[in-house]
Amino acid sequence: MSQLFSPFQIGSLTLANRIVIAPMCQYSAENGNVSDWHTIHLGNLALSGAGLLIIEATAVEPAGRISPQDVGLWCDENEAALAGVLKSVRKWSDMPIGVQLAHAGRKASVDQPWKGGGQLGLDQGGWEVVGPSSAGFESYPRPPQELSTDDLARLVEAFAAAARRSVRLGFDMIELHGAHGYLLHQFLSPLSNRRTDAYGGSLENRMRFPLAVFEAVKAVVPAGYPVGMRVSGTDWVAGGWDIEQTIAFAGELKARGADFIHVSSGGNSTAQQIPLGPNYQVPFARAVKQATGLPTIAVGLITEADQAEAIIGTGDADLVGIARGILFDPRWPWHAAAQLGARVKAAPQFLRSQPRQYKELFS
């Protein structure tokens, strides 16, 4: 029996298989409101046969967007727009759907990637950015304003408010974005956190704000409701965030009731040196899982069915995250199930597409 296509439990949520569609920014919202593009995009992915779909980084305040076109969940209008898209998608799919709540911090106010992705000037629709300290992201000309302790308290509540909206919308789980050089990661890493108060310096201090955000979110969701965090296992820069600190942070999250951890890497410095290759981030997921026992999602150039099967079968991780690969092949789970002799759920409209040699593929 395929381990990749075995069920898995995260908190009170049961997944049909171990394939997670990882969050992927689409840069196609307006004032934080999802658009028709998201109905098409998410509807397509929700018919893929994966076990879980997590929608893209969703900002908890306008200044927390990566670009002006990022999705948000800070107001009633954002919530209503998401409700409409989710209603359409759920009419045709019962796949569990999660949301990734985020704040871009010093990496905010940039153009869409297909327009260069550079930091937008204040006269180009950009805004003043914030961060744990005035240390800016190297390739962006405008440095961040250091967040005050009052600002931090306000942002903790912004995450909690977005979590309340997420529960109200019927999202099945919440992932907090603590990776890829965005705000929570910025606090964790000594490369971006140069504070000298209780939120900077020691590892304990650098973890303080991300843990406060996690605690606030966990406090406003129902019992058993899955809440976890995506982290970067390393900055890939000497003297930066690393796997030992990640393991310590994961242990603190577990002590506070985290239901899972999603392990990626990088994104906090242009000096990063990443040795790209298949499974290049899986060792970080394995290390966190072995040290903490937390349910773990692995990502990183996982493109083949046998590759994903081996990650689950050897216990390197509990789930695999597929992102760009499923944009390229939106039926990746179908094809993986066919190759591994497993079954996958398909919409009845698609049942006649089942090839003869895979007559037991669809359920």
Which of the residues are catalytic?
182
Q: Are strands 71-72 and 97-102 parallel, antiparallel or unpaired?
A: unpaired
Q: Which residues of 233-253 are buried (b: 16+ CB within 10 A; e: fewer)?
A: bbbbbeebbbbebbbebbbbb
Q: Which are the contacts of 115, defined by CB distance < 8 A and separation ≥ 6? A: none
Q: Scanning the structure block, which residue is given the tokens 């290049």?
A: 280
Q: Do the Cβ atoms of 338 and 356 come closer than 8 Å?
A: no
Token pair of 18 as six digits: 């171990």
Question: In the 8-state DSSP scheme, what is residue 257?
Answer: T
Which residues are bridge partners to 59 per DSSP?
Answer: 72, 102
Q: Are strands 13-15 and 8-10 parallel, antiparallel or unpaired?
A: antiparallel
Q: Do the Cβ atoms of 48 and 333 come closer than 8 Å?
A: yes
Rounded to an integer, what distance in angstroms lies between the CA atom of residue 203 and that of residue 241? 10
